[in-house]
Amino acid sequence: MRVWAPDARTVELVSGEARTPMSPEDGGWWRSADALAPGTDYAFAIDGGPALPDPRSAWQPHGVHGPSRTFDVSAHAWADAGWAGRSSLGAVIYELHIGTFTPEGTLDAAIARLDHLVALGVEMVELMPVAAFPGTAGWGYDGVALYAVHEPYGGPAALQRFVDAAHGRGIAVCLDVVYNHLGPSGNYLGAYGPYFTERHHTPWGAAVNLDGGDAAEVRAFVVDNAVRWLRDFHIDALRLDAVHALVDDSDRHVLAELADAVAALGSEVGRPLSLIAESDLNDARMVTATADGGLGMTAQWNDDLHHALHALVTGERQGYYADFGSVATLAKALTEVFVHAGEFSSFRGKVWGAPVPPEVDRRRFVVFSQDHDQVGNRALGDRPSRALSPGQLAISAAVVLLGPGTPMLFMGEEWGATTPFQYFTDHAEPELAEGVREGRSREFGTHGWAELYGHDIVVPDPQSPETVVASRLDWDEPARPDNARLLRFYTDLVRLRREPDIASGDRAATAVQTGPDQLVMRRGGIAVAINLAPGPATLALGSAAGEVLLCWDGEGLAVHGSEVELSGHNVAVLRLA
C-alpha cells in the first residue's frame, strides 16, 4: 500500500483496530509492507489523526466518509478480447445517468437496456460521472473519491460488467470524469497534500493545484486516473467536465500531458482511445494536436449548436439564448461550428471565441439538442417534448443526426420522453443541503426563468427523493403510438447517418441555404429540407430532387423538380438527382 502525503510527519495504515506505521519514500510517498487481501477494509491516518479513505481508493462500500476496500481489478474475466474499439469521431453517442436510466438505478440494470440502444443504432454510450459521491442519489459532479465507482450503482465490479456487456453488443463506452473540482462533502484530499491552491479560483472555490512547484504529483493523480479507467476498465473514451476550469499556467497544460499519455496507451493496447472536452472557450486549439501546439483533445462539446437550435424552435431568448434564435444563426453553427467566434457575446459581455479553421474535421465537435445540463439546469428540468410539437422534435433530431458534427442523444429523447431530468443531491449535512436548496432557488431567480414559467415557479427540492423519482425514465412510453413513431424516426435517422455523404466531417461537404422559417442543409449529394413554420411552405433545393430517403410527415410532402412542398413543422431527406 502506498499513499502520497508530502507534509506528513507520520502515516499509519489502519485496518480494523490495527494501526501500522508506514515508511517514508522519496517524493513525499509512504509505503506499508503489509499486503492486504482483496476485499479488506483499510484507511490511512496522518500524524495520528482520524482514519481517512485512500485518495486512490477503487472501492468505497461504506460511502465516501468510510474506510476504503481493496479491489482486485484483474479478477474480472473479460470477454471482449475481440473488441477492436471505436473512436468517438462520428459515433452516435448516447448520454445517460445510471441512477435514473432504469427504475433500479444500477449498472447491472442498465445492461438489460443495452439492446434498446443496439436497436436504435447507438455506437457509444456516455455515462454521467460514476466516481463515488456523498449519499445515494446525485448527478455525480460532486464526486470526491475519483478512483472509486459509486457503490449504489454497483461498485467497480459492476462497471467492468457493464463495459464488457456493451462491448459484446458492439457499443463503445465513454465515461464522464471531473477533474476541475471535488464536491464539498467527503473531500479529504487536502488532508494529504497540496491538491488545491489559492493562487487560482473557480466557481467551486480554490482551484486544483496544476501549476505550482509542488503540483507534479497532483497532475499525476489526474493523468493516472484517466489512464486507469481506459486500461483497467476497458473504457473507450473520457468526457472531461468543464476543462476551462482547469487553470494551468505551466509551460505544458495538463490536458496536453493527458492527451499524450492517452495516445501512448492507445498504441499499447491497440485500440482507439478518445478524449472529449467540455469547453466554454470556443477555441479549436482544444482539438488541435499537441505536436501542433494544441491541447490534443479528440473532440469537444459544442453548446452553440444546441443554443442556436433550441432558441429557434422554442422561441426562448432568456439568459444565454439572447444572441441566438434566427435561422441564419443556426446555419452558422452548422457550417462554422461556433456562433461566437470572435464576436461580441451579450451574455458574457465581451468578445468571445475564435473561428474554426475550415480544414478542421467537423466530427471533432459533439452536437446535441438535449443533454444533462441543458435539460437539468432548467428551473423545472423539463424537456423540449413538453413544449414542442412532434414535428419540431423530428426537426431537431434531423439537424443533430444529419449535420456535420458528432451527434449525441440524451437518454429518452429518442421517443420524446416526457419525464423531466431535474437536479438532485443527497447531502447528509443539514447546512449543506439547505445551501444547495437556496443556491438553486437563487440561480433561477435570474436568467429570465420566472418570465418563462411564470412568477409563481417552484423549483423542485434537490434533496427530495421525489425529485429523483420524477427524473427516472418511464420505459412504458416507447410503446405508446406517438412515442413509438418518434422512436422509429430516430432509428431511421441513425441509419441514414451511415451514408458516406452524411458521415463526412469535411467542411466543404456541408452547405446551408435559408429562407423565412426554412432551412436546406446540403450534405454532399443529400439534402435535408426543413420547414420550421407551422404552416406549409415551398423550399428550393438548388438541384433536382431524386429519391426521398425519409420524411417525418410523408403525406405533407410533394416534390416538384428542384423544389419540395412541406407541411408545417416537417422535415424531409432527399437524395439529389
Residue 349 C-alpha cell reads as 459581455
**Beta strand 145-149 pairing with 131-132:** antiparallel
Count CB-CB contacts under 10 A for residue 18. Answer: 10
Side-chain-side CA neighbours of residue 382 (13 Å)? 14
Residue 375 annotated as binding site: yes
Q: In whole angstroms, give the CA distance from residue 89 to residue 91.
A: 6
Phi, psi of 95 (to 5 degrees): -85, 135
| Bridge partners, residue 2, by sequence | 31
Residue 239 annotated as binding site: yes
Residue 62 annotated as binding site: no
Residue 377 annotated as binding site: yes
Residue 340 annotated as binding site: no
Grid cell 507534509 in the structure block, residue: 7
Does the annotation count 278 as an active-site position?
yes
Residue 323 annotated as binding site: no
Distances (CA, A) of 333 to 111, 251, 404, 532: 35, 33, 10, 17
Residue 96 annotated as binding site: no
Beta carbons within 8 Å of 290's beta carbon, 6+ residues apart = 256, 259, 260, 296
Residue 66 C-alpha cell reads as 468510510
DSSP 186-230: S--HHHHS--EEEEEEETTEEEE--SSTT-HHHHHHHHHHHHHHH
Burial class (CB in 10 A: 0-12, 13-18, 19+), 16: exposed
Q: In whole angstroms, give the CA distance from residue 477 to residue 45.
A: 51
Q: Is residue 74 within 8 Å of 38, Cβ to Cβ?
A: no
Residue 252 annotated as binding site: no
Q: In whole angstroms, give the CA distance from residue 129 to residue 149.
A: 9
User: How many Å from the N-terminal Cα to the C-terminal Cα in the chain?
Assistant: 68
Residue 373 annotated as binding site: yes
Residue 532 annotated as binding site: no
Q: In whole angstroms, give the CA distance from residue 449 to residue 446.
A: 7
Out of 54, 142, 151, 241, pick the active-site residue.
Answer: 241
Residue 304 annotated as binding site: yes
Q: Is residue 237 within 8 Å of 124, Cβ to Cβ?
A: yes
Q: In whole angstroms, give the CA distance from residue 451 to residue 316.
A: 10
Grid cell 427524473 in the structure block, residue: 471
Out of 12, 217, 248, 278, pick the active-site residue.
Answer: 278
Does the annotation count 241 as an active-site position?
yes
Amino acid making up residue 289: A
Residue 303 annotated as binding site: yes
Residue 236 annotated as binding site: no
CA nearest neighbour of 222 among 207, 239, 212, 210: 210
Binding residues for substrate: 239-244, 303-307, 372-377
- Binding residues are 239-244, 303-307, 372-377
Active site residues: 241, 278
